[in-house]
Structure 1
Amino acid sequence: MEASDKSGDSQDIPFTPEKHTSYLLALDKSLDSDAIGHYTNEHLKLPGAYWCIGSLKLLNALTEERKKEITLFIKGCQQECGGFGGNVKHDPHVVTTLYALLILSMFDEVDAIDKDRMATFIASHQKEDGSFKGDYAGEVDTRFSYSALSCLKLLNRLDLINQEKARDFILSCLNIDGAFGGVPGAESHAAYTFCSIGALKILGDEDLIDRDKLGSWLAKRQTIQGGFNGRPEKLPDVCYSWWILSTCFMIDRQDWIDFKALKEYVMRCSDVESGGISDRPGNEVDVFHTFFGLTALSMMDQYGLEKIDHVYAIPVSTIKRHFPHVYQ
């Protein structure tokens, strides 16, 4: 099936949570090492665990069967510096450190790791211009700013960094079209725009941008197929259902999106027989797109899914339980 194919009545496509659950639970038994975000891929084990566990949480299907095993694995990914790698003995990174915190919170095991060392590690990666490097190698972009700020906000330790400089770096990535690139001067992109607006939201500075201009750019990412693309003239992809819709919620422009068309696109990407969600209709499903497809359905209040927070990408109930200061 081509990505542009709208044949068939997508309203008749059933939502099969039990199939999605079975697919997710079987991920770590698969031998397909080429699958995107595969649960046991060497360098993606911790990120893959986040996408898988997050999906199960949204489906109200996360059990404690492997809680101890997974918690011990995550603890094993924390290095002496306080940061977490994508797997045991991997170099620590700001993004995987955030993933570790999110997974532990969904398992109600936030106190299983040294949060002070975690916060110190994150803060140590802020550079003089306010940006954050991802790891020792020094790469900088707004993904790392968002991950760092999200982690520190959840830990209630934003006081460890220069928040004004962090804000100024994000604003330096703003383009004339109202959206953001990953670094100053880079092309606007939906994922980097999410990271930038999420960072500003965390800092309480989201009113510094033109909501209507950005809202217009975001709304124009919705294609005739119903799904979003990440940049103009690109094909739609389920993952942008999260990056764009969540950003619209953050700037209160979600009403500018056709929810019905987006829902139908996600459903056309769903495998109703074996479970999972793909990037485009007819393509192979994977855990990455399954998670982001479910987050979109959650934000649109579909199928009784657990409600996800559109800034922090974990359920609202999890934030209320472990990070209540976020909503105060």
Structure 2
Amino acid sequence: MGELLREKHTAFLQGLDKQDKNSFEACSTEHIRMQGIFWGLGAADILKVKDEVMPKAEKIAGWVMQCYNKEIGGFGGNVGHDANIVNTQHAVYVLAQCGKLERIENEKDKIAAYVKQRQLPDGSFSGDEWGEVDTRFSYCALACLSILKKLDQIDLDKAAEFILECKNFDGGFGAVPGAESHAGYIWTAVASLAIINKMHLLGRAEWDKLAWWLAERQCDSGGLNGRPEKQADVCYSWWALSTLHLLERSKWIDSERLVNFIYKCQDPE
């Protein structure tokens, strides 16, 4: 069994804030900076080094508000970028992580209205004004409104109906109705139902079927893949295991082998 390289991870997170803004890496990830801060804060919090690693909460909150489009009520992935529902959810979460939700106290209704506008007649949500639909956007919408305590602004029954339409014969969920089951989309579907207290619509008998599909994602390496016949990827340790936790079936996989796989995915450099 390996060990968690805490100091290396801490140094990596510290380096992200000091990154050369003109570097290729910085430019190529500019549009997802909001999401990077969300995951970075989460990692730093788990490592119990958030105060050491990240800039002061006020500085982060100030940057987040620079990404806010006051006219429409949405957030972009960086300053000057178009708003979309994914980055709006991440922005609200980052403010919550920093204890700075008061920065949007007077904007909550406008943000909720922006999210509401993204809901389509079939209950699904589009990611932005261009209309792409999948359950990621359903999750982002519901998670955002939950933090804002504005879930009553949308049609929750239709939202759940769309998610259930994405369920497949194998027990899993796809991005849209008829799409292949995928661990990432299973998380967005199940987590969405959990947020709005509608997991009972799955039926308890289906929990085992879905949990079995997820347990089957464990490969010989101990890691989890996202769908059949794929290699293990450390990201599915989160998507699949989080869903199993919601289903109260997290012991259905070999956690020791999974932890060892995650350790092996660390870069000692």
TM-score range, shorter chain: over 0.9
Q: Is the 8 A contact 1:40 1:48 kept in 2?
A: no
Q: In the alignment, which of 155, 166, 170 is matched to residue 173 of structure 1?
A: 166
Identity %: 44
Q: In the alignment, which of 1, 5, 15 is matched to residue 4 of structure 2?
A: 15
Q: In the alignment, which of 15, 21, 28 is matched to residue 17 of structure 2?
A: 28
Q: Equivalent residue for 2:183?
A: 190
Unaligned stretches of 5+ in structure 2? none
Q: Give 1:101 deviation, angstroms.
A: 1.0
TM-score (norm 1): 0.76
CA separation in 2, counterparts of 1:44 and 1:171?
29
Instruction: Confirm whether residue 55 of structure 1 aligns to residue 55 of structure 2.
Output: no
Q: In the alignment, which of 257, 260, 263 is matched to residue 259 of structure 2?
A: 263
Question: The residue matched to 1:174 in structure 2 has which SS?
Answer: coil
Cα 1:82–1:248 shift into 2, 3 Å: same
Question: The residue matched to 2:263 in structure 1 has which SS?
Answer: helix
Q: In the alignment, which of 227, 237, 242 is matched to residue 223 of structure 2?
A: 227
Which deviations, in whole Å up to 9, do the C-alpha atoms of 1:155-192 show, x marking residues without a partner?
A: 11111001110000000000000000000000110100
Q: In the alignment, which of 33, 47, 51 is matched to residue 45 of structure 1?
A: 33
Cα 1:156–1:235 shift into 2, 3 Å: same
Q: Is the 8 A contact 1:191 1:243 kept in 2?
A: yes
Question: The residue matched to 1:26 in structure 2 has which SS?
Answer: helix
Q: Equivalent residue for 1:246?
A: 242
Q: Give 1:239 deviation, angstroms.
A: 0.4
Cα 1:28–1:41 shift into 2, 3 Å: farther
Letter in 2 for 1:257: I
Instruction: Confirm whether residue 157 of structure 1 aligns to residue 150 of structure 2.
Output: yes
CA separation in 2, counterparts of 1:99 and 1:23?
21
Q: Is the 8 A contact 1:77 1:89 kept in 2?
A: yes
Q: Give 1:69 deviation, angstroms.
A: 2.1
Letter in 1 for 2:226: G
Q: Give 1:59 deviation, angstroms.
A: 1.0
Q: In the alignment, which of 88, 94, 102 is matched to residue 97 of structure 1?
A: 88
CA separation in 2, counterparts of 1:21 and 1:221?
30
Work out the number of aligned pairs and report it: 260
Question: The residue matched to 1:234 in structure 2 has which SS?
Answer: coil
Instruction: Confirm whether residue 69 of structure 1 aligns to residue 65 of structure 2.
Output: no
Q: Give 1:51 deviation, angstroms.
A: 1.4
Which deviations, in whole Å up to 9, do the C-alpha atoms of 1:72-123 show, x marking residues without a partner?
A: 1100111021110001111111110110011111111111122222112111
Letter in 2 for 1:246: S
CA separation in 1, counterparts of 2:23 and 2:262?
25
Q: In the alignment, which of 132, 135, 146 is matched to residue 128 of structure 2?
A: 135
Question: The residue matched to 1:242 in structure 2 has which SS?
Answer: helix
Unaligned stretches of 5+ in structure 1? 1-10, 275-328
Aligned-residue Cα RMSD (Å) equals: 1.7
- Kindly indicate which of the two structures has a greater share of residues assigned to helix: 2
Cα 1:78–1:241 shift into 2, 3 Å: same
Question: The residue matched to 1:108 in structure 2 has which SS?
Answer: coil
**Poorly superposed stretches of 4+, deviation over 4 Å:** 31-35
Letter in 2 for 1:69: K
Question: The residue matched to 2:31 in structure 1 has which SS?
Answer: coil
Q: Which has the higher contact order (CA 8 A, sep 6+)?
A: 1
TM-score (norm 2): 0.92
Question: The residue matched to 1:243 in structure 2 has which SS?
Answer: helix
Cα 1:223–1:126 shift into 2, 3 Å: same
Instruction: Confirm whether residue 81 of structure 1 aligns to residue 94 of structure 2.
Output: no
Question: The residue matched to 1:89 in structure 2 has which SS?
Answer: coil
